[in-house]
Chain A
Amino acid sequence: MSTPLVAPAGALPADLLVRQARVLDPRAGRDGEADVLVQGGEIAEIGASGALSPSPGTELIEGEGRTLLPAFFDCHVHLRTPGQEHKEDLDTGTRAAAAGGFCGVVAMPNTAPPVDSPELLRSLRETAAAQARVPVGFLAAITRELAGQELTDMAELSDLGALGFTDDGLPVVSAGVLRRAMQYQRLAGGVLALHEEDPALSAGGALHEGPVSALLGVRGVPSLAESTMVARDAALAAYEGARVHIQHVSCAQSLDAVAAAKADGGALTAEVTPHHLLLCEEDVRDLDPRVKTNPPLRGAEDRRALVEALRDGTLDCIATDHAPHAREDKEVPFEQAAMGTTGLETAFAALHTELVLGGALELGTLVERLTAGAAVMGLAMPRLAPGEPANLTLVDLEAEWQVGEEGYESRSENCCFAGRRVTGRVLLTVAGGAVAYRQRQFALSAA
């Protein structure tokens, strides 16, 4: 059995002392000024503020006025490797993750070719060890070539380190095939992560079916293209006792299906993206291809329902669905444009600005939901406690910046928040015990 997360080979274990920062870890019930000492890549000690001093060889980081958080974990990103390295690769994608405060990401298998064979997964993990900046996990395909017909070698893929399975980008249309995958999951283990979309209802659609699609004359994707599939698959999962995770929930009707499944005691989790939490169909009115996503941005009332469901825990975690695209895939009319937005570098700042400063969500809840993707994938959650591996991010909650003003770490620039003023900046990320990111001005001022 392989360890599911691939750690960057040759990363140096960090030795550093963050002094006098506000240390916030909602799971540990911790929120107050403290000193945090990291030695050999592990949290060695958390002491009273100003009580610890650095030993020789330990870097001192002044945390006063800043906030130290457990680093975030994203269970849904597209790193485009193999085959579409012109959009992103394991280096640029994980640089973006580190810059966004993430200590781990899970890459989707809808690459070219898709990750549907043990050989491909093995070589991809080797590439990740050589190139990645933060630990990376992989989901393998549920079906060969993502064609929705034959199951992949799920058990062997799992032995090689696949965290689970998904045909993300596409639904498993056949209930019969998905049911077999659920049965086989008892042998293979791992989570089944599901992109929920009934193509009979969504075909040809480019945005949410509603007043805006009627006005623009663009074919819409109704909410029930998603919610009917969520309900179907929750019923299948309950019957087979399967462990399923619903990806990028976008509408209120799907939330009803998720809440009902959870109320029945189902082992079901669900994620939501920053763009579905912050944008809605009105933001698509001028047909900027950067806001074309799948599932589409829904109505304003759906957006409010998602925020509430994130707050009350119906939605377990935030996942960015980071989907880099080349300029030529987005500089075309909306209906022709590729679907998806980048998200790793902006998730925390955008959500902090709109939801926390906007009063809809506590900072602690936001941090909890940004880290909970690890548990969804069956991994230990990042925690700020002595003896834990150092997975932490230092943020300035008051720093204002404009998305895109300094470019992106990602190879692609298709960010739906481009041009927005946001508040909250990641200064430092330690991932898997090694320093993975330092914000440039912060690094200069600290030097």
Chain B
Amino acid sequence: MSMRHLLSIEDLDREQIERILARAASFAEVSGRPIKKVPTLRGRLVVNLFYEASTRTRSSFELAAKRLSADVLNFASSGSAVEKGESLKDTVTTLSSYRPDALVVRAPFAGAAALVAGWTPAAVVNAGDGKHEHPTQALLDVYTLTRRLGTLEGRSVWIVGDVLHSRVARSGVLALRRMGAEVTVCGPPTLIPRGIEALGCAVRHDLSDLGEAHVVYALRMQNERMSESFVPSLREYVAHYQINARRLSPRQLLMHPGPVNRGVELSSDVTDSPQALISEQVEAGVVVRMAVLFELLSGAAPEPSGAAAQARPATEPQLA
């Protein structure tokens, strides 16, 4: 089944995830070449619409689009009409007049990308909607892990930290479950949302059984959580939840969505260790986002009416 938008992991089945991962693997070869570009999406327009600060997600979408030869327009909320009070809907309508083929949307509100999908003829990619989902992050995490482990069937993944405020955790749990992994979320009781078990994960509040994990996925711990009394102090958080060489065994893999707060959720020794897949995750970000853009823009023929109609039909990636 071809996809029209990528709004959430919840919408995807295992087959769709596997198809994106396989496509990403084929693009990985492109990234290894001296000339890292294929003409697959030449003449297509990808617009990045970012309402939150982002370095790696925005730049990896930009790089992914450029490696597929698409044109890229970056639209950030600061310094734009948004600061002059323009609504999300009006901004999307305005940008849609440029006839983009894909809109990559990040906004601080749950459901924002899904709303945008109703307002534009372009394919919409959710690059993070509030604390809800961040599907491309989950896909690149699963890609990174399957490259290292092969199948995820029966593997145990512990997601540790501020699950309450984490879209990475929510998409991650869903994607890992789809791929057959066992998922445990672990963090202070104040930072684990009530009812999270509905996603199919186990809940723990201490790291005493961390040894059962094949993979430890640490989340970013933001400083403002202290002032909101979610945790009494950084010191207390570090004492109970920091992943460090004392807690991580050498046979376990370590992941983190970045950017890392060294000395908070991760100690430097494990961050810099060969167990850490953090750089591989960043690298995977580009090829997985290439695969997502390819999936959305090259699959079905563009809709006969509207913006995409004039665009060239896409060709298969030319890897030869």
Report how far A357 CA is from B28 CA in the complex, Å: 59
Which segment, of A153-161, A329-337, A404-412, faces chain B?
A: A329-337
B110 at the interface (CB under 8 A from A): yes
Q: Which residue of A lies closest to B170 (CB)?
A: A217
- B residues 100-127 with Cβ under 8 Å of A? 107, 109-112, 114-115
Interface string of A424-444 (1 = CB under 8 A from B): 000000000000000000000
B246 at the interface (CB under 8 A from A): no
The answer, among A209, A331, A333, for a CB contact under 8 Å with B110, is A333
Q: Which residue of B lies closest to A218 (CB)?
A: B110
Would B111 and A215 count as touching, CB distance under 8 A? no
B312 at the interface (CB under 8 A from A): no
Would A216 and B132 count as touching, CB distance under 8 A? yes
Report how far A216 CA is from B87 CA in the complex, Å: 23
The answer, among B114, B133, B170, B199, for a CB contact under 8 Å with A286, is B114
Report how far A331 CA is from B90 CA in the complex, Å: 10
B114: A residues at CB distance < 8 A: 286-287
Q: Smallest distance from the beta carbon of B197 to chain A beta carbons, Å?
A: 8
Q: Which residue of B lies closest to A288 (CB)?
A: B111
B304 at the interface (CB under 8 A from A): no
B130 at the interface (CB under 8 A from A): yes
A241 at the interface (CB under 8 A from B): no
Q: Smallest distance from the beta carbon of A331 to chain B beta carbons, Å?
A: 5
Interface string of A259-276 (1 = CB under 8 A from B): 000000000000000000
Q: Which residue of B lies closest to A337 (CB)?
A: B109
Interface centre among A213, A217, A332, A334 (most CB of B within 10 A): A217
The answer, among B87, B133, B170, B198, for a CB contact under 8 Å with A331, is B87
Q: Which residue of A lies closest to B167 (CB)?
A: A217
Q: A210-B195, A215-B199, A218-B131 are in contact. Are A333 and B112 (CB under 8 A)?
A: yes
Q: Smallest distance from the beta carbon of A192 to chain B beta carbons, Å?
A: 33
B33 at the interface (CB under 8 A from A): no
Q: A217-B167, A218-B131 are in contact. Are A335 and B109 (CB under 8 A)?
A: yes
Q: Smallest distance from the beta carbon of B196 to chain A beta carbons, Å?
A: 5
A50: B residues at CB distance < 8 A: none
Report how far A362 CA is from B124 CA in the complex, Å: 48
B89 at the interface (CB under 8 A from A): yes
Q: A214-B193, A333-B115, A335-B130 are in contact. Are A328 and B87 (CB under 8 A)?
A: yes
- B residues 192-214 with Cβ under 8 Å of A? 193-196, 198-199
A63 at the interface (CB under 8 A from B): no
Q: A217-B133, A331-B89, A333-B115 are in contact. Are A287 and B110 (CB under 8 A)?
A: yes
Interface string of A313-356 (1 = CB under 8 A from B): 00000000000000010011111100000000000000000000
A220 at the interface (CB under 8 A from B): yes
Report how far A171 CA is from B274 CA in the complex, Å: 56
Q: A214-B199, A215-B170, A217-B133 are in contact. Are A333 and B107 (CB under 8 A)?
A: yes
A210: B residues at CB distance < 8 A: 194-195
Q: A210-B194, A218-B131 are in contact. Are A334 and B89 (CB under 8 A)?
A: no
Report how far A211 CA is from B195 CA in the complex, Å: 5
Would B111 and A333 count as touching, CB distance under 8 A? yes
Interface string of B66-84 (1 = CB under 8 A from A): 0000000000000000000
- B residues 22-54 with Cβ under 8 Å of A? none
Interface string of B118-153 (1 = CB under 8 A from A): 000000000001111100000000000000000000
Can you sample 7 A-B contacts with CB below 8 Å? Answer: A211-B195, A214-B198, A217-B131, A217-B166, A217-B193, A218-B130, A218-B132
- Contacts from A to B (Cβ < 8 Å): 209-218, 220, 286-287, 328, 331-336
Known: A214-B193, A286-B111, A332-B115. 8 other contacts (CB 8 A): A211-B198, A214-B194, A217-B166, A218-B130, A218-B131, A331-B89, A333-B129, A334-B111
Closest 10 CB pairs of A and B: A217-B131, A287-B111, A333-B109, A214-B195, A211-B198, A211-B195, A214-B193, A217-B132, A333-B112, A335-B109
